[in-house]
Amino acid sequence: MPPRAITTAATAASDTILSGPKNWDAWFTVFKGKAIAADLWQYLDPEATNKPSLEPPPQPTGNESNARAIIWKERRKEYTVKYKLLSDLGNHMLNTIETTLYGQLADHPKVAEKLEILHTMFNRTQAVKVNEARNEYNNCKKKTVGRDTFKDWSHEFQLALNKAKELKLPEVDGFQPQYDLLKVCSHINYALATNMILEVNEAETVYRATLAKANTRTATIPAVVDEEGNEIQQEETVKVPAAPP
């Protein structure tokens, strides 16, 4: 399958404009996807230590056979296509980053070099991402919300919850997000929120009991024999309860 053409026009509705660490992941995901689709990622991966550079094939000498000349023409054509796609990807990069970043990239003409600089500036460690997601979720669930601000808050809560779930934070395991949501709702309608918390608690109890029953399994403790082959512990069957989710 030939590499796909790259759309370079940036629009506020569809493209993330890279401005810093906060939206690096979203921007990088899109950029990487475009590079992979164009079969260019091997030349650009900022975490690769020995990535190749895109170079034109060496031109054959006059003594080369016609077959080699034909192969060279095909490789030259492939190179020309990839070079154009790489140029388009470079334009996409410049169209989707804040203009304040141009200064850091000005002395680095290659797209791979520019990407390495941005990666060094904005890529965060997993520990940092986890800490940010945890703080964002915890701060969001502690807010006092009224009827007029609930809609905006619920959108903020959903985004924070999605990020926390993606990173598998223990704060959002099981039914905990429902309790956190209803606790905030209690500031708006205490009676309704309290009743719903009881319903969630009942659902959680049923869920855990059903899961434990479904996952209870029979485990066999093998017989232990001494050096002469005499069995010194009979096999027995034990019930192993499932761990809670």
pLDDT, tens digit (0-9, with 9 covering 90-100), for 196-217: 999 999 999 998 888 777 665 4
pLDDT of residue 61: 77
pLDDT of residue 126: 82
Candidates 186, 242, 238; CA nearest to 213 is 242
How confident is the prediction for the chain on average, in pLDDT? Answer: 83
Q: How do residues 33-86 score in pLDDT, each as one tens digit?
A: 999 999 999 999 999 989 999 999 988 876 767 888 889 999 999 999 999 999
What does residue 231 show for φ and ψ, rounded to 5 degrees?
A: -70, 125
134 neighbors 171 (Cβ within 8 angstroms)? yes
Lowest mean pLDDT among 33-42, 165-174, 220-229: 220-229
Helices 126-141 and 150-166 cross at an angle (nearest 10°) of 150
User: In the block, which residue shows the tokens 């939206």?
Assistant: 23
What is the helix (H) or strand (E) element at residue 34, kind and residue range? helix 24-37
Long-range Cβ contact pairs of 55-60 (< 8 A, separation 24 or more): 55/79, 56/83
Question: Could you tell me the pTM of the whole model?
Answer: 0.57
What does residue 217 show for φ and ψ, rounded to 5 degrees?
A: -130, 160
Q: Report the distance separating Cα 231 and Cα 229, nearest Å.
A: 6
Local confidence band at 2 (pLDDT 50, 70, 90 cut-offs): low
Q: Report the distance separating Cα 169 and Cα 160, nearest Å.
A: 11
Q: How do residues 116-144 score in pLDDT, each as one tens digit?
A: 999 999 998 888 889 999 999 999 999 99
